[in-house]
Amino acid sequence: MQRQRGLTALARRLLLVRMAMPPNRPTISPERLERLRAICLALPEAAEKYAWGDPTWRVRNKIFAMQKGNTEGGRPSVWLKAEPGEQADLIDLDPDRFFAPPYVGPQGWIGIHLDGRQVDWKAVEERVVASYRLIAPKSLAARLSSENQGREGEGSSPDARRERRARSRERKRPTRRGR
């Protein structure tokens, strides 16, 4: 009986030590993390929470974005939910920027590297908003649509997304020469 109590006390101490551990050391520059944070927190009811030592952004406690790569030698990136089929299309389109992240990649999530010389923040914002729309309750996603209504060049409507996918597929198709 005493041995069992000792293990329980040890387990309790280990849990307290683990809970007190600081987040992973960021490999992303503070400016880029702040820019990503601003994009994510601008969405309705979005909240930031550290999980697994990294910042995550959630809507009603469901993750729509995770900043990852904060390990020794890791590449800073953001992981986002993608529509079915988009993961493969994006990776084919630009494999230096997009990748299938571990753990959530098989569920269709997409990773975007944030360590390049220049980050296309407009594209990152579009992907974050698309991920948010997939995760957020319909009422919040509708609120986002009404807030964005009237903005020119929004490009995040379903029709605009379909057009972009069709254009990217046309670019990937090999041409038949000699016929």
Span 71-120, pLDDT tens digits: 666 789 999 999 999 999 999 999 999 999 999 999 999 999 999 889 99
Amino acid at 33: L
CATH number, domain at 127?
Answer: 3.90.1150.30
Look at residue 175 and tell me if it is in a domain.
Answer: no
Q: How far apart are the C-alpha atoms of 84 and 23, rounded to whole Å?
A: 32
Look at residue 98 and tell me if it is in a domain.
Answer: yes
- Please state the rounded mean pLDDT for residues 13-40: 74
Residue-range definition of the domain harbouring residue 74: 17-170
Q: How far apart are the C-alpha atoms of 60 and 139, rounded to whole Å?
A: 12
Number of independent structural domains in the chain: 1
Look at residue 2 and tell me if it is in a domain.
Answer: no
- Burial label for 14, CB within 10 Å (0-12, 13-18, 19+), is exposed
Please give the span between the terminal C-alpha atoms of the chain, in angstroms, as a whole number: 84
